[in-house]
Structure 1
């Protein structure tokens, strides 16, 4: 039986304790950590690379949605939301083969969620699917996605994200640490926030990002000004450590160019 390295994220200690007790009945679940807020959860994710996260949505400071936005697409674990939402969560998650648990969590429903995750080990939900579900929840209704080619623009020294359903966001290039892709979605990461826009990486690159940005993976662009060091891995790959201690993988395809620029 394959074991699932599992992380529990919820700001309510009683909720984590109750879920942990119920999960102890499932031999395939190996709880490797617990977190009560997003930043602590991200630290555990970077350290242990969990296979599965039981994730609360409503938490003080940053929500469960913010945690999802921080995950790298190529290493996105299975996500089971633990939520009080129900009106649109059912449609969003069922359509996209994700799962959710309504509080208080029932053991029978928990068993169904674990079975679903176990059966999808070789076809895990992608970050694109999770973001699409989050998009439906945050909009509050099922809508056709806007044209990804027109959801952003680049003007002078700022990236302008335009979404007809959200306020226009103007993000200075100097504030952007890295950008990662999840299908038709792009996550733009700054020190404090993550902005999601419907766009494709190739379209963003065609718009000619400043010279300080370099592609380091098929799904990742980094701002070179925020790289503090490179750590060599096997097969000519590297880890790029950013100014906020975020660790990004540099694939062999792009490692030579990055090393030549930084050294």
Structure 2
């Protein structure tokens, strides 16, 4: 089994401690250092030359994205982002992160992420992959500039997300709380995880999602069984509260159809 020299970068000492404990279950992971800032990480990277970095995003001074900008593409390690915030997921995958884990990290998701790293590092085009990362960060070139491919397919009661690089992810429709859009990408949210897929909102609504998914905003879809309540605002707009207490705005354009759908859902 190939050993992966691994660096942990997070400004929270407790986060590094917790991740260290979880990684102890994976014999292929060899932790070569801990860093609490981008500058500290750069020093350790030059000394240890890691194969893999578990990287926080929001840190004082410089973010995790700033760290990637400073890396040399020919020797850039594989990167797995570890963060408490789902809103950076789209950008993380634009810079070709191999995975995006939400804190607290589950052992199952950690195992999946490590497997992806092993697959990527064994590929002959790994160096080209790192050059693309560098180009995106420095020049602003993004995967969104090309036409979106088929980032999903339908398999019985599950949404199958696939991007050609990672193993397919199967998400039961019943587990999806809401989906929001960012350009050609979608963030699919369940109770505990966020998955990123390359697709357009319109194609999901028209061709993929089953009954029970309703658009509430130009960039948001919700799964009706997970709606807890509606709170009225001004101008016929609403706040929609999900069962996990997540609040989403319902625009006036979609409010009437949402209320009809909820009424039908509750009476049916």
Which of the five TM-score ranges fits, normalised by the shorter chain? 0.5 to 0.7
**Unaligned runs of at least 5 residues, structure 2:** 1-9, 15-36, 42-53, 72-86, 100-119, 121-128, 134-141, 264-268
Q: CA deviation at 1:12?
A: 4.1
Alignment CA distance shift 1:168-1:251 (3 Å): same
Answer whether contact 2:178 2:221 (CA < 8 A) is retained.
yes
**TM-score, scaled to structure 2:** 0.52
Higher alpha-carbon Rg: 2
Matched with 2:69 is 89
List aligned pairs for 1:151-230, cutoff 5 A: 151-230=151-230
- How far apart in 1 are the matches of 2:257 and 2:243? 20
Post-superposition CA distance 1:50-75 (Å, at most 9, x none): xxxxxx899xxx9756x9xxxxxxxx
Post-superposition CA distance 1:97-124 (Å, at most 9, x none): xxxxxxxxxxxxxxxxxxxxxxxxxxxx
**TM-score, scaled to structure 1:** 0.53
Matched with 2:256 is 256
CA RMSD of aligned residues (A): 4.0
- How far apart in 1 are the matches of 2:179 and 2:61? 25
Matched with 1:149 is 149
Answer whether contact 1:128 1:185 (CA < 8 A) is retained.
no
**Unaligned runs of at least 5 residues, structure 1:** 1-8, 14-55, 68-78, 92-125
Answer whether contact 2:161 2:168 (CA < 8 A) is retained.
yes
Answer whether contact 1:149 1:203 (CA < 8 A) is retained.
no
List structure 1 segments (4+ residues) > 6 angstroms apart after TM superposition: 126-129
Q: CA deviation at 1:130?
A: 2.9
- How far apart in 2 are the matches of 1:215 and 1:233? 18
Post-superposition CA distance 1:212-246 (Å, at most 9, x none): 10000000000000000000111111111001111
List aligned pairs for 1:1-263, cutoff 5 A: 10-12=11-13, 64=56, 82-83=63-64, 86=67, 88-90=68-70, 130-131=91-92, 133-135=94-96, 141=130, 142=132, 145=143, 148-263=148-263
Matched with 1:20 is none
Q: CA deviation at 1:90?
A: 4.1
